[in-house]
């Protein structure tokens, strides 16, 4: 059973470009979470999605960031007009169900560098 897959693993963008990060959850998991890790910091929650629905986006910046989890295909985290402060590691996690008891399984992350 493959784990959570993220691609690309490394992404370099120039200021003003768009970044698209993809996440395929573990087989059988329908809940996806995105987290951001800045250097020397812990992970910060961004958004929680189920298929075709955004459940909680309380951690998402109000502008330039969006996320989707379509009926078919991976979840996408999209960052428009990137700035240097967006440089970070972005992790996706998945779980089989909602609920406070369930641990989340993390992907290897996408390291975004904005030049």
Partner 1 sequence: AQSVAQPEDQVNVAEGNPLTVKCTYSVSGNPYLFWYVQYPNRGLQFLLKYITGDNLVKGSYGFEAEFNKSQTSFHLKKPSALVSDSALYFCAVRDQTGANNLFFGTGTRLTVIP
Q: How far is the CB of 71 from partner 1 (least distance, A)?
A: 20
Segment 46-85, which members bind partner 1 (CB under 8 A)?
A: 48, 55-56, 59
Question: Is there binding between residue 8 and partner 1 (CB under 8 A)?
Answer: no
Determine the size of the site formed for partner 1 (CB under 8 A).
30
Secondary structure of residue 5 in the 3-state scheme: strand
Q: How far is the CB of 14 from partner 1 (least distance, A)?
A: 23
Task: Identify the CA nearest to 29 among candidates 2, 58, 54, 47.
Answer: 2
Among 88, 107, 112, 114, binds partner 1 (CB under 8 A): 107
Among 11, 19, 21, 33, binds partner 1 (CB under 8 A): 33
* 34 phi, psi to nearest 5 deg: -115, 135
Question: Is there binding between residue 1 and partner 1 (CB under 8 A)?
Answer: no
Tokens of 25: 């959850």
| 13, 14, 24, 62, 73 from 47: Cα distances, Å | 22, 24, 15, 12, 18
Dihedral of CA 92/66/45/52: which sign? negative
Q: Which residues bind partner 1 (CB under 8 A)?
A: 4, 6, 31, 33, 35, 40-45, 48, 55-56, 59, 91, 93, 95, 98-101, 103-109, 111
């Amino acid at each position: 059973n493959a784990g959570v897959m993220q691609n690309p693993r490394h992404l370099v963008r120039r200021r003003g470009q768009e970044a698209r990060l993809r996440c395929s959850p573990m087989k059988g998991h329908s809940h996806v979470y995105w987290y951001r890790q800045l250097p020397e910091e812990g992970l910060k929650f961004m958004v929680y999605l189920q298929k075709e629905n955004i459940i909680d986006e309380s951690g998402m910046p109000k502008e330039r960031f969006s996320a989707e989890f379509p009926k078919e295909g991976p979840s996408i985290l999209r960052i428009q007009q990137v700035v240097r402060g967006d440089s970070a590691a972005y992790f996706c996690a998945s779980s089989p169900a909602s609920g406070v008891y369930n641990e989340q399984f993390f992907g290897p992350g996408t390291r975004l560098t904005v030049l």
